């Protein structure tokens, strides 16, 4: 059975930002959540001198591996890659694709 990344949830970054995502996860023919391509939206309150910076996201869930890319309004492209640990907690790393040396770790908020 696939991990659940469907719906609205938040991830907390080590640089202090909180990203809220609204992800649509695929379902199998029986209606159960499945691995596969992800799409949805991501937003960060108070980023880039905007009340809320919001963008579309695309990504994938493959077993324990999770990833998505967010093309932010300031023309940066954030790559978010993570993994579920054996206890089901999701965490990972994020970076700007144009500046991969500048990274932050993140964890799913409800996994603290």
Query: pLDDT value at position 55?
Result: 84
Please state which of the four CATH numbers 2.40.128.30, 1.10.3210.10, 2.40.30.30, 3.30.70.1880 is assigned to the domain occupying 7-111. 2.40.128.30
Cβ neighbourhood burial of 83 (10 Å; 0-12, 13-18, 19+): middle
Strand partners, 66: 61, 82
Kindly state the tokens that stand for 95.
Answer: 């970076």
What is the pTM for the complete model shown?
A: 0.88
pLDDT bracket for residue 75 (50, 70, 90): confident
Highest mean pLDDT among 11-20, 31-40, 71-80, 103-112: 31-40
pLDDT bracket for residue 49 (50, 70, 90): low
């Amino acid at each position: 059975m696939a991990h659940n990344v469907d719906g609205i949830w938040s991830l907390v970054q080590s640089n202090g930002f909180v990203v809220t995502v609204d992800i649509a996860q695929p379902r199998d023919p029986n209606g159960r959540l499945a691995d596969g391509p992800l799409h949805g939206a991501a937003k960060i309150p108070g980023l880039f001198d905007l009340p809320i910076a919001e963008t579309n996201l695309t990504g994938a869930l493959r077993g324990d591996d999770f990833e998505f890319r967010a093309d932010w309004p300031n023309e940066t492209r954030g790559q978010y890659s993570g993994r579920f640990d054996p206890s089901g907690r999701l965490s990972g790393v994020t970076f700007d694709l144009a500046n991969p040396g500048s990274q932050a770790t993140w964890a799913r908020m409800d996994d603290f």
